[in-house]
Chain A
Amino acid sequence: MENSKEKNCWNYVDVGVRNKVPMVRLEIIVSGKSYSFSFVVDTGYDGCLLVPYSVYRQLGLEKFELPKDEWSVGETVSGEILPLISAHCKIKIADTIFECIIETFEGNNNFLVGLDFLKNFNAEPRGSKQEICLLKY
């Protein structure tokens, strides 16, 4: 990872699909402890963070949960509608800490960062270098 005061870059990662995908590494802070994971940058997801259900449970995020009334519903690629279990959390990326809503649903195995996350940065996918850079503004 290239690291400067303004810009942080991560290399694209081969996850077994046709092209390498942009991924960023960030930390989820729960009760003062940090847990680091890699997330696929996915502009098709319009939330902040999506984590696997097992990770949601392991981190004890049900202790920071939003009321069911405020959970969003997600539409999968197959058109299925799912309630998204949501929790309030702090995340750290490079030197930046901010609050974010973490979502999951039973059966989910993906780690995604979506549009709600990206709105905090100027994101620059550099196809030629196969890396993604985030610039905090």
Chain B
Amino acid sequence: MGIIKANIDEDLRRKLWEKAFKKFGYSKGAISLAIREAVKRWVQENEVNNEVESERILNNNAYLRLKEKLKREYDGQYVLIAKGDFIAAAKTFDEIVKIADARVPDAKHRLIFKVTQEEKRRRGRLGWRIRRKKIAGTT
């Protein structure tokens, strides 16, 4: 067992104390148990994130490699790329999802998209231009 020293803000510390005592009881080890659980979850989450990110890179590289071929041969169809390779094409979204679930159920990341000749990338606006909060003096 190792010891970790860290600074957290007062509000978070109070919440941690409150939740830890509620879950593990008013004992000496309650905070340690809560922190151990939180750190374990954080580490697991990051491991999954890394797996997703590495598969995302792999699949996008495969897409770039296959892009022209897909446009030539599968125009108008839904295509599945997973584990760095072309897996299948289908006429509908439902069909390609079924194929994906059957053939690459363990993939952490998959590309599923409709092949079209047109350029889809665009620049869009994101949400309200002005968001006014209620403060004193406003109606």
Residue positions of A touching B, CB distance < 8 A: 16-18, 31, 42, 44-47, 50, 62-77, 81-82, 84, 88, 90, 99, 110, 112
Contacts and interface: CB of A to CB of B under 8 A. Distances in A.
Contact of B97 (A44, A46, A62, A64): A64
B112 interface: yes
A74 B125 contact: yes
B5 interface: no
Nearest to A66: B113
A77 B93 CA distance: 34
Interface string B103-134: 00001111111100000111111111111111
A100 B36 CA distance: 40
B7 interface: no
B134 A65 contact: no
**Main SS class of interface, B:** mixed
Interface residues of B, number: 37
Contacts of A75: 123-126
Contact of A68 (B60, B101, B114, B134): B60
A76 B133 contact: no
A47 B120 CA distance: 12
Nearest to B126: A74
A90 B129 CA distance: 28
B108 to A, nearest CB: 7
Contact of B111 (A18, A42, A65): A65
Nearest to A99: B93
B133 A18 contact: yes
A42 B60 contact: no
Given A72-B124, A84-B124, A67 B60 contact: yes
Contact of A73 (B52, B59, B124): B124
A46 B124 CA distance: 6
Q: A63, A66, A72 — which one has the most chain B CB atoms within 10 A of its CB?
A: A63
B138 interface: yes
B87 to A, nearest CB: 12
Contacts of A65: 56, 109-112
Q: B56, B113, B129, B138 — which one has the most chain A CB atoms within 10 A of its CB?
A: B113
